[in-house]
Structure 1
Amino acid sequence: MSERKDKKKVIGEPMTDEQIKVFLDNDPEAGVDADFHSLMRAYRSLREEDFERFLGFFTAAGRRVDARDPAGHTLADLIADHVRGADYLDSLRRHGG
């Protein structure tokens, strides 16, 4: 499959606020806290600087950074040992997680 010259793939371009806010709205699986689901989805999908911005929108909307998964873990608990999770963990802590 060849890439169209007028549709070059852009990697690393800053996301708009609207693109980041998409991660606030989602439908979690039954039994999963909506705040936890949004946090995990954003963590898995966003670069650290975009995740930081997401957390600003998230907390401004009154959402809980310390939300827990069905097993009782926060996102901070789950990513504490991730090799590339340190910056994300710092962001969570700055926002009360």
Structure 2
Amino acid sequence: MKKDKEKVIDEVWTEDHVRSFLNVRAHDGTNDDFHMLLKAYQSMRASDFELFVGMFKEQGRDINASNREGRSVLSIVTEHRHGGDYAEVLRAAGAQ
């Protein structure tokens, strides 16, 4: 079978596309702020993630939100080989 979609690499993200992640909600009881940040991290380049985090903070959302295991997005990002730039963005926004 043929794949329905091709993987898109280096997609250009508009500000509206980045902002749309503020509407992402968890459906399994996970903290919505944690879920939004994690999905944005998993989906965006660091520059787009930085824009998203600014929007996220403007809405008064919790940059230190955690999952049900008590882990923050920063703690997850710091374990990833290519997570350095993302971790810097989170720390600059007040993540601990």
State TM-score, norm by structure 1.
Answer: 0.85
User: Structure 1: which 4+ aligned runs deviate by more than 6 Å?
Assistant: none
Per-residue CA deviations over 1:37-63 (Å, capped at 9, x if unaligned) read 000000000001000000000000111
Helix, strand or coil: the match of 1:84?
coil
Structure-to-structure mapping, 1:59-78, within 5 angstroms: 59-78=57-76
State TM-score, norm by structure 2.
Answer: 0.86
The alignment's C-alpha RMSD in Å is: 1.7
Helix, strand or coil: the match of 1:68?
coil
Gaps of 5+ in 1: 2-8
Per-residue CA deviations over 1:56-86 (Å, capped at 9, x if unaligned) read 0000011111000000000011111210000
* 2:29 pairs with 1:39: no
Aligned pair partner of 1:83 in 81, 84, 88: 81
Deviation at 1:88, TM superposition (A): 0.2
Gaps of 5+ in 2: none
Aligned to 2:24: 26
Higher Cα radius of gyration: 1
Q: Decide whether aligned partners of structure 1 residues 16 and 71 sit closer, same or farther in structure 2, where only a CA change above 3 A counts.
A: same
Aligned to 2:47: 49
Distance 1:78 1:41 in 2: 12
Distance 2:11 2:32 in 1: 28
Structure-to-structure mapping, 1:10-21, within 5 angstroms: 11-21=9-19
